[in-house]
Amino acid sequence: MTRILGIETSCDETSAAVLAGSGDAVALESLVILSQDVHRVFGGVVPEIASRQHLIALVPVVTRSLADAGIGLHGIDAVAVTNAPGLVGALLVGVSFAKALAFGLGVPCVGVHHMEGHLFATALEHADAVPPFTALLVSGGHTLLLDVEAWGRYRLLGRTRDDAAGEAFDKVAKLLGLPYPGGPHVERLARQGDPSRFRFSRPMLRRNQQPGDDDYYDVSFSGLKTAVLHAVRGSTPDDAAHIARAFHDALVDTLVEKTARAAAQFGRTRVVLGGGVAGNRTLAESLRERVRRLGAEVYAPSPRLATDNAAMIARAGLFHFERGERAPLDLNAFASQPLPGLVDA
Ligand code: KG4
Ligand code: ZN
């Protein structure tokens, strides 16, 4: 049994969590997430402010998560920290803190790729959300479609060619005059919209696409965002909900179709969603309906584990720790880095 402290500071959430167990038999003992509200007034994350806020919040957030778990610093066997991808200044706060803490306690430190964390998040709530499965990771910065044969063995099938799904939600929210982060606001407004009023074409979806085609699994959302911009220009305020609905339908249809193709091609009976956009109910429900005829089950995280959190970092960190991986003292932070464990497609 290992008790691991997870730390996440890659963007605008300062988070710490304590997780104990081994393999897939783990228990989450605490999770503290402090969301930096300050960025709302700027309509997006301001990197330097994010770093400074992490510096202020990290010690109290870690202290709180240890107290919630009922342990002291010496109850920790290892420290896991997000070291890529993300805002470098923000990541450096967590990385520097984690290395110093691990060194001071004389325990190992493990670096975790943020998107691999999202891949593990759903397993914390659903015992069956474990490999083999098809994974759709949809966050503010990334959109990845993967076939997961085993933890640590990932086949990258598709990705976005421009904007990430969450980024598209945030940009469309801005065009519609909704607050940041826009995903939940667009989802809510879209529910009130009439689906027959506007229609946007489904990006990268063509009839007769074959698994070998290079756009079979990739997605692209920047054209959709431009279509929304043109629709907003010629519309009345009453149209906002209808436009949100048309955008939402086009984006969800595209993601659902691509994910269902992957599950069918690899014969997977489990589909796991991860990342902030995975908290979107419509996406999970549409996917569930679409893959039912394949006999596949869909697992989506609750909003708390869908958005950035340290529990998923502790969970992915435990996996690497158990494989004997240890971060060197010069562990660094990187704005972008390929997912570890990629196998040839
Ligand atoms: O994974 P995450 O918390 O941070 C990154 O790693 O980027 O994802 C944040 C993104 C934001 O773009 C936000 O608008 C989006 O997730 N999001 C949603 C929903 N909740 C959060 N998008 C669509 N529907 C939602 N319900
Ligand atoms: Zn994330």
Q: How confident is the model at residue 83 (pLDDT cuts 50, 70, 90)?
A: very high
Instruction: Provide the whole-model pTM.
Output: 0.97
Averaged pLDDT for residues 87-93: 98
Confidence of residue 86 (pLDDT cuts 50, 70, 90): very high
Distance from the Cα of residue 155 to its chain's centroid: 17
The pLDDT value given to residue 255: 98
Distance of CA 53 to the CA centre of its chain: 21
Q: How confident is the model at residue 74 (pLDDT cuts 50, 70, 90)?
A: very high
Among the bound ligands, name the one nearest to the CA of residue 313: 2
Distance, CA of 86 to chain centre:
12
Is the C-beta atom of 11 inside 6 A of ligand 1? yes
The bridge status of strand 297-299 relative to strand 78-84 is unpaired
Neighbours of 324 (CB within 10 A): 7
How far is the C-alpha of 319 from the C-alpha of 94, rounded, in Å?
20
pLDDT value of position 345:
74
Contact 122, 284 (CB under 8 A): no
| Token code pair at residue 253 | 């249809």
At 79, phi and psi to the nearest 5?
-125, 130
The verdict on the CB of residue 6 being under 6 Å from ligand 1 is no
Q: Which bin fits 6, alpha (ψ -120 to 50), beta or left (φ > 0)?
A: beta
Q: Does 190 score more than 80 pLDDT?
A: yes
Distance between Cα 277 and ligand 1 center (Å): 4
pLDDT for position 41? 92
Q: In the CATH scheme, what is the code of domain 2-119+306-343?
A: 3.30.420.40
User: Under a CB-based contact definition with an 8 Å cutoff, are residues 10 and 50 in contact?
Assistant: no
Mean pLDDT over all residues of the chain?
97
Compute, in angstroms, the gap from residue 140 CA to the centroid of ligand 2. Answer: 7
Contact assessment for residue 105 and residue 342, using Cβ atoms and an 8 Å cutoff: no
**Cβ 276 under 6 angstroms from ligand 1:** yes
For the record, the structure tokens of 134 come out as 């098809």
Residue among 150, 174, 125 at smallest CA distance from 274? 125
Say what the pLDDT of residue 209 is.
94
Which residue among 139, 170, 286 is best mutated to probe the pocket of ligand 1, counting the most ligand atoms within 8 A of its Cβ? 139
What is the pLDDT confidence band of residue 311, given thresholds at 50, 70 and 90? very high
Residue 115 CA: nearest ligand 1 atom is 6
Residue with tokens 């430190």: 109
| Pairing of β 297-299 and β 342-343 | unpaired
Residue pLDDT, tens place only, 112-153: 999 999 999 999 999 999 999 999 999 999 999 999 999 999
pLDDT value at 207 more than 90: no
CATH 3.30.420.40 domain locations along the chain: 2-119+306-343, 131-300
The tokens for 273 are 């969603």
For ligand 1, atom 7, the nearest C-alpha belongs to: 140
Q: What is the DSSP letter of 123?
A: G
The architecture (CATH level 2) of 131-300 comes to: 2-Layer Sandwich (3.30)
The answer to whether the CB of 280 falls within 8 A of the CB of 256 is no
Q: Token pair of 199, please?
A: 């229609």
Instruction: Please check the confidence at residue 219 and state whether its pLDDT lies above 90.
Output: yes
Average pLDDT over residues 210-218: 93
Mean pLDDT of 1-25: 98
Q: What is the mean pLDDT of residues 11-22?
A: 98
Residue 344 — very low, low, confident or very high, per pLDDT cuts 50/70/90? confident
The DSSP letter of residue 219 is B
> Using the 8-state DSSP alphabet, how is residue 26 labeled?
E
